[in-house]
């Protein structure tokens, strides 16, 4: 009766499906971030220890799984930087530093997430548009935060968009070089330089 009702060993069918989806998302992140292997559905299923049947239970195809990982990483970045901003004091430089420290710490805590969001997503045609959309959203929010949170001078929407894109685009290139090992820098150096750039763009 328990199996027929969808409950097995105290776990519902929906809970089991959710657990499998979480395993597949983690496996997708792991495979996608590894430059030594191709990102395929077969590789993801193997890493998750699940069959393709269960992959299609959660995703319409590989691109759907990759997009879900990309969106999850973007949401996590937003969450940690927002929390850092909320916890920081009202002084502009301190608040900007706290946000940048949280972002860099996020990258160092799990470099896979920075790699897939900043590097790998841009290399995949199916995800390039979504990556661009997310970067532009971050650029817009950085402009709004500089004006409203940091109390920096108001600019026209056009000027704010330019400044936001310059900052986020520059950060994306900086993080790419750093994660790929082309740039030798400490987290503290990156935070300090990025903070100066942010303040200069909106001053």
**What is each CA distance from 93 to 38, 125, 184, 191, 195, in whole angstroms?**
42, 38, 25, 11, 7
User: Quick check: 171 and 194 in contact, CB under 8 A?
Assistant: yes
Tens digit of pLDDT at every position of the chain (203 positions)? 344 446 556 678 888 999 999 999 999 999 999 999 999 999 999 999 999 999 999 999 999 999 999 999 999 999 999 999 889 877 888 888 999 999 999 999 999 999 999 999 988 888 999 999 999 999 888 888 777 766 766 677 788 888 889 999 999 999 999 999 999 999 999 999 999 998 888 76
Domain 62-202 classified CATH 3.40.50.2300?
no
Domain ranges of the chain: 1-60, 62-202
Contact assessment for residue 66 and residue 76, using Cβ atoms and an 8 Å cutoff: no
State the pLDDT at residue 73.
96
- pLDDT, position 92: 80
How is residue 88 written in tokens? 């920081």
Candidates 46, 58, 71, 65; CA nearest to 20 is 58
pLDDT given at position 153: 67
**164 Cβ partners below 8 Å, 6+ apart?**
138, 139, 140, 141, 142, 143
- C-beta neighbour count of 12 within 10 angstroms: 12
Task: Output the pLDDT for position 10.
Answer: 61
């Amino acid at each position: 009766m328990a199996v027929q009702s969808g409950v097995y060993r105290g776990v519902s069918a929906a809970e089991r499906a959710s657990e499998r989806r979480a395993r597949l998302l983690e496996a997708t992140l792991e495979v996608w971030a590894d430059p030594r292997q191709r990102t395929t559905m077969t590789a993801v299923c193997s890493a998750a220890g699940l069959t393709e049947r269960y992959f299609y239970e959660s995703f319409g195809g590989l691109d759907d799984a990759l997009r879900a990982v990309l969106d999850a990483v973007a949401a996590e970045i937003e969450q940690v930087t927002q929390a850092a901003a909320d916890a920081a004091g009202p002084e502009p430089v301190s608040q900007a530093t706290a946000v940048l420290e949280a972002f860099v710490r996020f990258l160092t805590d799990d470099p896979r997430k920075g790699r897939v969001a900043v590097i790998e997503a841009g290399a995949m045609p199916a995800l390039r548009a979504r990556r661009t959309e997310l970067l532009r959203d971050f650029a817009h929010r950085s402009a709004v935060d500089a004006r409203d949170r940091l109390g920096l001078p108001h600019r026209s929407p056009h000027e704010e968009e330019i400044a936001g894109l310059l900052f986020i685009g520059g950060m994306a290139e900086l993080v790419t070089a750093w994660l790929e090992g082309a740039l030798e820098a400490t987290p503290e150096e990156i935070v300090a330089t990025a903070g100066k750039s942010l303040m200069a763009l909106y001053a």
